[in-house]
Amino acid sequence: MTISTTKLIFLVSLFFVLFDNSAFFHHVLQIYPLSLKNLGFLISLAIGLLTFIMLFLTLLSSKLTTKPVLILFLILSAAASYFMNNYNVVIDHIMIQNIFQTNLAETSDLLNPELLYYCMLLGVLPAFFVYRVRIEPETFRNTVLKRIKIAFLSICIIFGSILLFSKFYTSFFREHKPLRYYTNPVYYVYSAGKYVNRKFKTSKTVIQPLGLDAKMSATDSDRELIILVVGEAARADRFSLNGYQRETNPLLQQEDIISFTNMYSCGTSTAYSVPCMFSVLPRNEYSDSKGASIENLLDVLQHAHVNVQWRDNNSNSKHIAGNVPYYNYQLPSVNSECDTECRDMGMLTGLQEYINNQPKGDIFIVLHQMGNHGPAYYKRYPTAFEKFTPVCKTNQIDECSKEEIGNGYDNAILYTDFFLDQIIKLLKNNSQQFETAMVYMSDHGESLGEYGLYLHGLPYQMAPDTQKHIASVFWFGENFHLDRKSLREKASKRFSHDNLFHTILGMMEIETSIYDKRLDILQN
């Protein structure tokens, strides 16, 4: 079969619109229901999307690139379509950042037969057609003229549609911006470009020192031992400490815990939230490039000669621990608590020995959990913690009921409760030598089917509270000096990741010009 380049690009573009944009049209129809009034606009929207995709692919095509480009986008768009249809996620630049920072174990949790079907039916089969078809030879002059004609006609069609249905497009572009996030492959290509641009800028960044004047308070006569637990995807409303009807915190409820019930994350993904929560920059000023251009909390602590260590059972520290001792506990050779996967509890292996081997100075330890990393919640805890049943036993959570998904998620919270309780026991054993404290703060929340959304990672402005309202608890040893009554009274106030940087500096009793008492939860 022989076909012209223009016809081939048109057919592939039409395929994208008809088969890879069901999520986009689903969301559009929720705002503009199918009716006689909206029909013309909806048709123009489909034609506009088709035209835009065709224009984009035409600009990328040449004698050597047409087939490779079409095949690449067919396969990528098939995978994107699966995740948008099944988890209601959008592929923005932060999601692409997550993809590049996700390790093999986390990636395997997302692989399942349905994803394979999508890739085969929407990716490999049409790609095979593109590969097999013969393209009519064209002279360079004819190719250029055709490109110019297509570009001109495409621009005319797009602008003509906007002018003809200007009333609809005004609301579409101004009031319903999130709808564009679901266009496939348009938005993920734009997002990839945005990610590469930011990555390029970040790679050339010179890191600005921060808190070089940091020092221990002259009045600090006691050594501090503080453990910060960075949780993973833990929602505030699934902690029984916060009123959840299920007993997901049976051990923590027996301790002198202060739960901050109104804590909010900086972002909706690990790749964004973790660097942000360790940054001196507040969320409304933070960006990847700004965060990468300035030292973080761990660097400031080291300037004050604090013994700092990062232990990780998640993907990595997102570059936060680049200047401190870092240990990966996702390896069975390091983590003594591994079965189907390496458990968070394994991060406590050898921790007492580390503490014993620090003869002087304060100690600050970060434990980065696997926690409630989805979608395979059933993998996140040992079988002994499977209290709530039935459980979704697949990573293909669209096949499970909301009850089964929620049960697996709650069991993972139950295991975190055990993990945190073991940390408290360790700290109690060191309370004679140190002022001890534990801070637990999740990186972001998680959607469990509410509004048809799953997992996390939606753009912050459109993400529901379930992806931003996070679990956070503090525990203090008996000899830690603070007004517990006052702290309990303000535990329901709204706080966020913005407060962590200054709260830790205050708890460690570090004097530095960058410390802001107003953002210290203990002093607020």
Domains, in order of start, for the chain: 2-203 (no CATH), 232-519 (3.40.720.10)
pLDDT in tens, 448-503: 999 888 999 999 998 999 999 999 999 999 999 899 999 999 999 999 999 999 99
> Judging by DSSP bridges, how do beta strands 472-476 and 435-442 pair with one another?
antiparallel
pLDDT in tens, 153-200: 889 998 898 888 987 887 788 778 889 999 999 999 999 998 888 777
Contact 382, 338 (CB under 8 A): no
| More confidently predicted of 139 and 449 | 449
Mean pLDDT of the chain: 92
pLDDT at position 205: 65
User: How many angstroms from the chain centroid is the CA of residue 97?
Assistant: 9
Say what the pTM is. 0.82
Residues 6+ apart with CB under 8 A from 435: 222, 223, 224, 225, 477, 479, 480, 481
DSSP structure string for 452-471 = G-EES---TTT--GGGTEE-
Contact 376, 232 (CB under 8 A): no
Contact 370, 402 (CB under 8 A): no
Residue type, 157: I
Residues 166 and 69: their CA atoms lie apart, in Å, by: 33
pLDDT band at 204 (very low <50, low <70, confident <90, very high): low
Residues 520 and 498: their CA atoms lie apart, in Å, by: 9
pLDDT in tens, 36-73: 989 999 999 999 999 999 999 998 888 889 999 999 99
How far is it between the farthest Cα atoms of the chain?
Answer: 84
Give the burial string for 93-111 (b: 16+ CB within 10 Å, else e): bbbbbbeebbeeebeebbe
Residues 337 and 334: their CA atoms lie apart, in Å, by: 9
pLDDT in tens, 327-336: 999 989 999 9
Contact 184, 16 (CB under 8 A): yes
The position carrying tokens 């590049």 is 100
Residues 164 and 39: their CA atoms lie apart, in Å, by: 13
Beta-bridged to residue 510, according to DSSP, are: 216
Structure tokens at 87: 């988890």
pLDDT band at 139 (very low <50, low <70, confident <90, very high): confident
